[in-house]
Structure 1
Amino acid sequence: MKAYFDHHVVSGVLFGATLVVWMASELRQGRKTRTEAQKTDRQSFAVARICVGAAWLVTALTSSALPATTIHGGGITFGVGLAICWMGIALRWWAFRTLGRFFTFKVMTSADQPVIRTGPYRVLRHPSYTGAEVAFLGMAVMYGNWIGVAALAVLPMVGFANRIRVEEAALNATLGDAYRAFAAGRKRMIPFVW
């Protein structure tokens, strides 16, 4: 069964506009760099991109190929997915804004970097990854396929878990006790869980 947005004009426009706005903001943010910072990415960005790309491929291929895994509900399901997606995008944008110049796509640290404890960082260590994951899940619901939901729930988390490991090692090495104290009071991505 085709995705709902494939045969309903308004939902197709909303899906496309959401994707364009989100990707444009990601491209804009991705151009930012910090010349004073040490790059300690260890290819974690590439691994995360591969995991996300694989999840999108599974989602796109299974949305029409496996009708037995369709999420029923039509416009209601699409609307729920759209709302979930925008909540994730909004959280990600909030994280971008809160970190300001310290937010980069490649893991970079510097000794003068403060530990940010405001905005979404009051609750989570990595709210931008949480926002991306929530947005991915919303997109999967808009596609209307349970396999897509599973793929976009699991595969990006593999990339994010690796990236968090690299990022936290770099932050611990550079910021020391200040970062460890910050981390001790917050979960990584999911409040009260992980």
Structure 2
Amino acid sequence: MTGVSKLVWLAFAICWGVIRYRYGRRAKRNRQIAEQDRIYEIALLTLTFIGYAGVPIAYLATPWLSFADYAFHPALFWAGILTGAASLWLFWRSHADLGRNFSVKLVIREQHSLVTTGVYRLIRHPMYASALLWTLAQAFLLPNSIAGLAGLFGFCILYFGRVQREESLMLTTYGDAYREYMMHTRRLVPYIY
């Protein structure tokens, strides 16, 4: 069953990549009018990628991390499927709701608008929430202390390295409208945080 668990993780990772690629291609067509520090963004996304994909792929493709394997538990497999599916749905929905406003990098595009509908009606950062769910799915599906928890490294780098900067950019761009939006929504978990 461990092999199946690894294949499920790989299938989810491929789906995640397809979603990001599809919306990322579309986003490049829209002209940028403001961009945050490019070098910082590249470093942040590279470190995030290492946690979410680099280490797990090294685990799947080589024996290098086998010393950190632990016993597989079917309950974790099913928890991984549920959180992975929830993560993919929220990731897709976040992109769909953002539409032309989506960008992989922290930028403001021409004709950018504040999105407060769909999943954004309940949480300000549903893509980060989907990344948190993916972090859990990775830990559940990969029975290895290093590869399974590498997603936590990726999430922390992404979340703590970017959310404050993103909210600052939104406040600068949208002012009181974004302040009002912040008063009625939470960052990651509806009604809680």
TM-score band (shorter)?
Answer: 0.7 to 0.9
Letter in 2 for 1:4: T
Unpaired stretches in structure 1, ≥5 consecutive residues: none
Q: Is the 8 A contact 2:138 2:149 kept in 1?
A: no
Residues 94 and 126, structure 2, Cα contact 8 Å, conserved in 1 = yes
Larger deviation, residues 53-62 vs 150-159: 53-62
**Contact 2:80–2:141, Cα closer than 8 Å, also in 1:** yes
1:148–1:190 Cα change, 3 Å: farther
The equivalent of 2:24 in structure 1 is 30
* Percentage identity across paired residues of the two chains: 24
Is the Cα contact below 8 Å between 2:68 and 2:145 reproduced in 1? no
Whole-angstrom CA distance in 2 between matches of 1:184 and 1:154: 29
CA contact (8 A) 1:85 1:135 kept: yes
Secondary structure of 1:39 counterpart: strand
- Residues 156, 119 of structure 1: CA spacing in aligned structure 2 closer, same or farther, 3 A cutoff? same
1:16 is matched with which residue: 3, 10, 27?
10
Which sits farther off after the overlay, 58-67 or 29-38? Answer: 58-67
Partner of 1:46: 42
TM-score using structure 2 length: 0.80
Query: Structure 1 residues 58-67 or 157-166, which shifts more?
Result: 58-67
The 8 Å contact of residues 87 and 131 in structure 2, kept in 1 or not, is answered as yes
CA 1:181–1:14: 2 relative to 1, 3 Å? same
- What one-letter code is carried by the residue in structure 2 that aligns with 1:33? K
Q: Where in structure 2 are the equivalents of 1:170-181 lying within 5 Å?
A: 170-181=169-180
Deviation at 1:110, TM superposition (A): 5.0
User: Match of 1:64?
Assistant: 66
Offset at 1:134? 0.9
Structure 1 residue ranges, 4+ long, deviating more than 6 angstroms after superposition:
none
Q: Which residue of the partner structure matches residue 83 of structure 2? A: 84
Unaligned runs of 5+ in 2: none
What letter corresponds to residue 21 of structure 2 in structure 1?
A: L
* Alpha carbons of structure 1 residues 51 and 71: separation in structure 2 relative to 1, 3 Å: farther
CA RMSD for the aligned pairs?
Answer: 2.7
Deviations 1:127-156 (A, max 9, x none): 011112212321231112344444322432
- Which stretch of structure 1 is more off in the superposition, 160-169 or 96-105? 160-169
Aligned-pair CA distance for 1:47: 3.5
2:48–2:154 contact (8 Å) kept in structure 1: yes
The number of aligned residues is 185
